[in-house]
């Protein structure tokens, strides 16, 4: 294991972590502030990717597509909130799971009807499509650096908004006691709508920036949703800071684990045995991490204040 | 009402003339393919290819009217089993054509062949039914799964690759491909990497590849995995000093998503859209005109399956009651394959040529695999000697 390979793996882990953070940020707020289980959050990630594809076809410009996709994802999120989710806030979790699961199936099929079942892709914008020479044999795509940077910017923006603005204060208060906030004359319904819309937009944004790296296909959000849930539970439900650190942790452990598990095991066991169980063990690592953290810190790494 | 009447008369007629070769009812063909989820594109190609053949023959095969019943197995073994059983028991089909995936084939195999119905696979060719468990009611018109990987090993030898990095998804077909590749490849396999099925981010694996010192990579990443791998491989700048060699990773179903990133990549296969023969040129032209996309090997195999049925039904005069005669007619494979030479081995798997293919961009901006040269002539699978048929 050379140092450069290790460095590359860390960069990849960071980049994956940032992507997870963008998805988990919205999920943790919706879950934490509203106590609402939104399984359809992953499908909003897919919607973002398909929107980017459609707008790139339409306008030919990636940057324009990013902006248009964000606006559309926000509008779609608000529409979903207005017509469906609003009616589920006071229902129990089972109803929420059923309704949002229905939305997953509906949107996955809709994507297939509109865009066809085949896997699609878009190219990264021209000025970001190169790669940086790190060593003689190793290059790292510029686009991936940009996604890390974009994730950091969003994280910083969210941190500042939640810590220092009036709306951030209301979100924190809503997470602790929604009824009390409502009793003080705050329009909690509108607050929920904003949180939900922004959450949908962030998931859409994750889909947009992931589209040039991963392929676009129906159901692409289903797997990442599970990992996003691992992130918010590990980080502490309702906590943006927790989601940030947990996302990085999960991203790094998953990426490093997949490369190193087989190698480490083969120093102890014979190579073919290590080859058999290495990949299986690597894909379990993040769940083992979650279980371990729940044992020692049942509320997660950085629980939101006042959450009981 | 009319339909019932027709069935009634058919039933009466059937009982009246049972066993005489002169009479023939409509031929019923059931098709079980995957038409939902991300791999739906593969199943769609099979349906399209088969229907093109039917249409060109005015809805008839071997001079008999054909009723085609298409079922979606949803890539779930239990669903596949239910659909296949109902095709055999309720619809009483004469042939079942299916499936795309080997695990689906394993699910539907028993109930179909045990009811003495012919099962013809237009794609899946698992080793399970090629050797000891070969079956008189089972035919494969595609290939045996290991063959493409074995031919890839030969390509690696011929191209002079010495160190090859191998990477496949962690499931049966993935492991089979590595076994097949190592069986013929004489050089050194630097790594064997197993990724989860449906893997998203290959960056960790690509980092390993770039420091492995291998001069080529061999991989099997069907569907969306292939699109992601190829794009990420090219974006990481690895294409410049490493050859990319694969099976079912850069084909006509994934190339629309891979585009320029895949140009020049090598593949092993029994067919390419520009394989030089007249029947093939006519097929590709007609297919593109009708469906608006370049056919892949799936569509070709389905078309060949229809041609095979056409020849067999013609030979028996439409009489499906004498199973031995139908089997003998199928076994002859007396049709013009789009692949050129085609015959059945004793285990009912094909004996055919395998070629080296590479990805090219056509003048109209579409991408397809292109025939380079033949690697193995009349290549049979390595399980047939275990088959007592």
Residue A155 Cα, gap to closest chain B Cα (Å): 22
A215–B228 CB contact, under 8 Å: yes
Weakly modelled stretches of chain A, pLDDT under 70: 1, 135-138, 305-308
pLDDT reported for residue A137: 62
Domain final position from B241, B269, B297: B269
pLDDT reported for residue A78: 93
The Cα A96–Cα A105 span in angstroms is 14
Name, in order, each residue with C-beta under 8 angstroms of A177's C-beta and a sequence gap of 6 or more: A306
B224–A8 CB contact, under 8 Å: no
Domain assignment of residue B371, yes or no: no
**Going by DSSP bridges, is the β-strand pair A139-141/B367-379 parallel, antiparallel, or unpaired?**
unpaired
Name, in order, each residue with C-beta under 8 angstroms of A76's C-beta and a sequence gap of 6 or more: A44, A47, A200, A204
Are B138 and B280 in the same domain? yes
B170–A279 CB contact, under 8 Å: yes
Are B340 and B198 in the same domain? no
Domain assignment of residue B91, yes or no: yes
Per-residue pLDDT of chain B (389 residues), as tens digits, is 444 544 444 444 444 444 333 344 789 999 999 987 778 888 999 999 999 999 999 999 999 999 999 999 988 899 999 999 999 999 999 999 989 988 899 999 999 999 999 999 999 998 889 999 999 999 999 999 899 999 999 999 999 999 999 999 888 788 889 999 999 999 999 988 888 877 888 877 888 888 888 999 999 998 888 999 998 898 888 888 899 999 999 999 899 888 889 999 999 999 999 999 999 999 999 999 999 999 999 999 999 999 999 999 999 988 888 999 999 999 999 999 999 999 999 999 999 999 999 999 999 999 999 999 999 999 999 899 999 88
Are B138 and B282 in the same domain? yes
Chain B residues near residue A280 by CB distance under 8 angstroms: 170
Q: For residue B177, which of B233, B222, B208, B142 has the smallest C-alpha distance?
A: B222
Q: Hunting for tokens 């090997």 — which residue is that?
A: B297
Helix (H) or strand (E) segment spanning residue A140:
strand A139-141
B224–A119 CB contact, under 8 Å: yes
Q: Is A231 helix (H, G, I), strand (E, B) or coil?
A: helix
Cβ-based neighbour number of residue B11 at 10 Å: 11
pLDDT reported for residue B217: 96
| Angle of the A240-268 helix axis to the A220-235 helix axis, nearest 10 | 100
Q: For residue B256, which of A52, A66, A43, A217 has the smallest C-alpha distance?
A: A217
Domain assignment of residue B377, yes or no: no
Beta-bridged to residue A300, according to DSSP, are none
Q: Is B117 helix (H, G, I), strand (E, B) or coil?
A: coil
Residue A16 Cα, gap to closest chain B Cα (Å): 8
What's the Rg (C-alpha) of chain B? 21
Are B67 and B214 in the same domain? no
Chain B residues near residue A120 by CB distance under 8 angstroms: 256-257
A vs B, Cβ pairs < 8 A, gives 113
Q: For residue B356, which of B193, B161, B226 has the smallest C-alpha distance?
A: B161
Domain assignment of residue A194, yes or no: yes
Beta-bridged to residue B359, according to DSSP, are B369
First-to-last alpha carbon distance for chain B, in angstroms, is 46
Contact B158, B374 (CB under 8 A): no
Residue A85 Cα, gap to closest chain B Cα (Å): 26
To 5 degrees, how large is the angle CA B88–CA B90–CA B94?
A: 40
Contact A131, A140 (CB under 8 A): yes
Chain A residues near residue B201 by CB distance under 8 angstroms: 12, 16, 213-214, 255
Percentage helix, strand, coil for chain B under 3-state DSSP, each rounded to 5? 45, 20, 35
Are B139 and B280 in the same domain? yes
Contact A36, A96 (CB under 8 A): yes
Q: Does B236 touch chain A (CB under 8 A)?
A: yes
Residue A105 Cα, gap to closest chain B Cα (Å): 11
Are B213 and B281 in the same domain? no
pLDDT reported for residue B14: 43
Q: Hunting for tokens 């607050």 — which residue is that?
A: A191
Q: Kindly list the strands in the beta sheet with B27-33, ordered across the sheet, starting from the edge strand earlier in the chain.
A: B60-61, B64-72, B27-33, B95-98, B118-121, B138-140
Residue B65 Cα, gap to closest chain A Cα (Å): 31
Residue A120 Cα, gap to closest chain B Cα (Å): 5
Name, in order, each residue with C-beta under 8 angstroms of A64's C-beta and a sequence gap of 6 or more: A55
Residue B27 Cα, gap to closest chain A Cα (Å): 31
B203–A223 CB contact, under 8 Å: no
Q: Does B198 touch chain A (CB under 8 A)?
A: yes
Domain assignment of residue B15, yes or no: no
Peptide bond into A160 cis (omega under 30): no
B204–A255 CB contact, under 8 Å: yes
For A278, how many CA atoms within 13 A lie in the half-sphere containing its CB? Answer: 24
Domain assignment of residue B6, yes or no: no
Percentage helix, strand, coil for chain A under 3-state DSSP, each rounded to 5? 75, 5, 20
pLDDT reported for residue B9: 47
The Cα A225–Cα A205 span in angstroms is 15
Domain count, chain B: 2
Domain assignment of residue A249, yes or no: no
Overall residue count recorded for chain A in this entry: 308
Are B109 and B97 in the same domain? yes
The Cα A249–Cα A18 span in angstroms is 10
B237–A131 CB contact, under 8 Å: yes
The Cα A121–Cα B326 span in angstroms is 46
Both tokens assigned to B371: 């025939």
Chain A residues near residue B39 by CB distance under 8 angstroms: 117
Domain assignment of residue A242, yes or no: no
The Cα B301–Cα B337 span in angstroms is 9
What is the DSSP secondary-structure string of A151-212? Answer: HHHHHHHHHHHHHHSHHHHHHHHHHH-HHHHHHTT--HHHHHHHHHHHHHHHHHHHHHHHTT
Instruction: Print the domain residue range for B166.
Output: 146-269
CA distance readout (Å), A136 to A133, B213, B237, B324: 7, 12, 12, 65
A8–B170 CB contact, under 8 Å: no
Contact A35, A96 (CB under 8 A): no
Contact B262, B230 (CB under 8 A): yes
A120–B256 CB contact, under 8 Å: yes
Partner residue facing B38 (CB), from A121, A217, A262:
A217
Plot region of A121 (φ>0 → left; ψ -120 to 50 → alpha; else → beta): beta
Q: Does B179 touch chain A (CB under 8 A)?
A: no
Q: Does B211 touch chain A (CB under 8 A)?
A: yes
Partner residue facing A215 (CB), from B208, B210, B224:
B224
Residues 243-302 of B with CB under 8 A from A: 253-254, 256-259
Chain A residues near residue B205 by CB distance under 8 angstroms: 258-259
Cβ-based neighbour number of residue A82 at 10 Å: 13
Are B27 and B116 in the same domain? yes
The CATH number of residue B326's host domain is 3.40.50.2300
Q: Hunting for tokens 């602790």 — which residue is that?
A: A176
The Cα A122–Cα A53 span in angstroms is 6
| Angle of the B278-291 helix axis to the B40-56 helix axis, nearest 10 | 110
Chain B residues near residue A219 by CB distance under 8 angstroms: 37-38
The Cα A40–Cα B386 span in angstroms is 51
Domain count, chain A: 1
Domain assignment of residue A74, yes or no: yes
Both tokens assigned to B297: 């090997």
Return the exposure string of B312-334: e unless at least 16 CB atoms fall within 10 Å of the residue's CB, then b: bbbbbebbbeeeebbbebbbebe
The Cα A100–Cα A199 span in angstroms is 15
Q: What is the ipTM of this complex?
A: 0.72
Are B220 and B174 in the same domain? yes
Q: Hunting for tokens 């998953």 — which residue is that?
A: A254
Domain assignment of residue B379, yes or no: no
Instruction: Print the domain residue range for A25.
Output: 3-220
Q: Does B232 touch chain A (CB under 8 A)?
A: yes
Contact A33, A238 (CB under 8 A): yes
Are B112 and B124 in the same domain? yes
Q: What are the residue ranges of helices labelled H in chain B?
A: 2-17, 40-56, 77-89, 102-114, 145-159, 172-184, 203-210, 224-235, 255-258, 278-291, 297-316, 323-332
Domain assignment of residue A78, yes or no: yes
Q: Hunting for tokens 């089909």 — which residue is that?
A: B93
B192–A275 CB contact, under 8 Å: yes
Burial zone of A122 (CB within 10 Å; 0-12 exposed, 13-18 middle, 19+ buried) = buried
């Amino acid at each position: 294991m050379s140092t450069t390979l290790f460095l590359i793996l860390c960069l990849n882990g960071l980049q994956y972590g940032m992507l997870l953070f963008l998805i988990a940020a919205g999920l943790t707020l919706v879950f934490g502030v509203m106590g609402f289980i939104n399984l359809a959050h992953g499908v909003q990630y897919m919607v973002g990717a398909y929107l980017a594809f459609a707008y790139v076809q339409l306008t030919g410009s990636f940057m324009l597509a990013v902006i248009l996709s964000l606006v559309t994802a926000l509008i779609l999120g608000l529409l979903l909130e207005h017509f469906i989710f609003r009616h589920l806030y006071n229902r129990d979790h089972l109803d929420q799971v059923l309704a949002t699961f229905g939305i997953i199936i509906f949107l996955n099929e809709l994507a297939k009807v509109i865009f066809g079942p085949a896997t699609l892709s878009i190219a990264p914008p021209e000025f970001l499509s190169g790669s940086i020479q790190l060593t003689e044999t190793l290059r790292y795509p510029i686009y991936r650096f940009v996604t890390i940077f974009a994730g950091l910017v969003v994280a910083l923006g969210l941190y500042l908004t939640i810590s220092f603005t009036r709306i951030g204060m209301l979100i924190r208060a809503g997470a602790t006691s929604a009824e009390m906030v409502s009793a003080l004359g705050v329009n909690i319904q509108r607050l929920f709508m904003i949180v939900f819309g922004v959450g949908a937009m962030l998931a859409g944004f994750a889909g947009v920036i992931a589209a040039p790296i991963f392929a676009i296909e129906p159901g692409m959000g289903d797997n990442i949703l599970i990992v996003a849930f691992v992130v918010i539970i590990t980080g502490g439900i309702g906590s943006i800071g927790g989601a940030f650190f947990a996302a990085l942790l999960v991203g790094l452990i998953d990426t490093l684990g997949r490369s190193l598990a087989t190698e480490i095991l083969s120093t102890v066991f014979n190579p073919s045995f290590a080859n058999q169980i290495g990949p299986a063990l690597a894909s379990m690592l993040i769940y083992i991490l979650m279980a371990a953290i729940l044992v020692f810190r049942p509320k997660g790494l950085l629980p939101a204040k006042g959450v009981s | 009402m009319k339909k019932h009447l027709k069935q009634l008369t058919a039933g009466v007629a059937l009982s009246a003339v049972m066993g005489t070769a002169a009479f023939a009812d409509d031929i019923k063909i059931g098709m079980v393919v995957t038409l939902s989820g991300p791999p739906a594109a593969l199943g769609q190609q099979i349906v399209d290819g088969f229907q093109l053949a039917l249409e060109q023959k005015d809805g008839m095969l071997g001079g008999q009217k054909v009723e085609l019943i298409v079922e979606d197995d949803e890539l779930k073994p239990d669903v596949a089993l239910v659909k296949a059983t109902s095709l055999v028991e309720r619809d009483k089909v004469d042939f079942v054509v299916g499936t795309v995936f080997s695990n689906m084939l394993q699910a539907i195999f028993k109930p179909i062949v045990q009811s003495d119905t012919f099962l013809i696979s237009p794609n899946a060719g698992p080793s399970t039914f090629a050797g000891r468990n070969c079956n008189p009611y089972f035919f494969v018109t595609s290939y045996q799964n290991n063959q493409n990987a074995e031919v890839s090993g030969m390509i690696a030898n011929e191209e002079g690759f010495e160190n090859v990095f191998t990477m496949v998804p962690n499931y049966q077909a993935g492991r089979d491909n590595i076994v097949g590749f190592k069986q013929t490849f004489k050089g050194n396999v630097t790594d064997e990497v197993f990724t989860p099925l449906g893997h998203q981010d290959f960056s960790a694996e690509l980092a390993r590849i770039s420091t492995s010192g291998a001069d080529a990579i061999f991989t099997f990443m069907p569907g969306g995995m292939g699109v992601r791998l190829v794009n990420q491989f090219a974006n990481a700048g690895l294409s410049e000093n490493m050859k990319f060699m694969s099976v079912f990773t850069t084909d006509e179903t994934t190339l629309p998503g891979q585009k320029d990133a895949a140009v020049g990549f090598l593949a092993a296969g029994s067919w390419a859209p520009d394989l030089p023969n007249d029947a093939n040129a006519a097929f590709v032209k007609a297919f593109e005109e009708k469906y608006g996309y370049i056919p892949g090997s799936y569509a070709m195999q389905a078309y060949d399956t229809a041609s095979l049925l056409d020849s067999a039904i013609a030979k028996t005069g439409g009489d499906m009651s004498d199973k031995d005669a139908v089997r003998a007619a199928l076994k002859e494979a007396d049709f013009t394959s789009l692949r050129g030479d085609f015959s059945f081995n004793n285990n009912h798997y094909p004996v055919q040529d395998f070629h080296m293919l590479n990805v090219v961009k056509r003048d109209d901006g579409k991408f397809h695999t292109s025939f380079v040269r033949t690697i193995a002539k009349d290549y049979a699978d390595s399980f047939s000697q275990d088959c007592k048929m």
